[in-house]
Amino acid sequence: MNKLLHYLKLAPVFSYFIRVFKKDKDGKYPTSTNLKMMHGINRISIVMFAICIVILIYKLFFRQ
């Protein structure tokens, strides 16, 4: 049961979302061009996903 609860923890997922949108001031994470591009693409994907969710919720509640 403890292993199942360990796999269902969402804190690392949300910490990644926060980390992607913040600048690394401490130099904790490696900085390479490929990694910067990957995080940039992830930012775009997260924003597009959020916009699509808002549009779907709007269509669900305000259109018939």
DSSP 3-state assignment of 34? helix
11-20 burial: b if 16+ Cβ within 10 Å, else e: eeeeeeeeee
Name the DSSP letter for residue 26.
Answer: S
Q: Does this model's pTM top 0.75?
A: no
Return d(Cα 25, Cα 21) in angstroms, integer: 12
- pLDDT 10s digits, 34-50: 888 888 898 899 889 98
Q: How does DSSP classify residue 8?
A: T
pLDDT per residue over 6-31, tens digit each?
A: 767 777 777 777 777 777 777 777 77
In the chain the beta strands, taken as DSSP E runs, fall at none
Q: Kindly state the tokens that stand for 51.
A: 């916009």
Where are the domains positioned within the chain?
A: 2-62
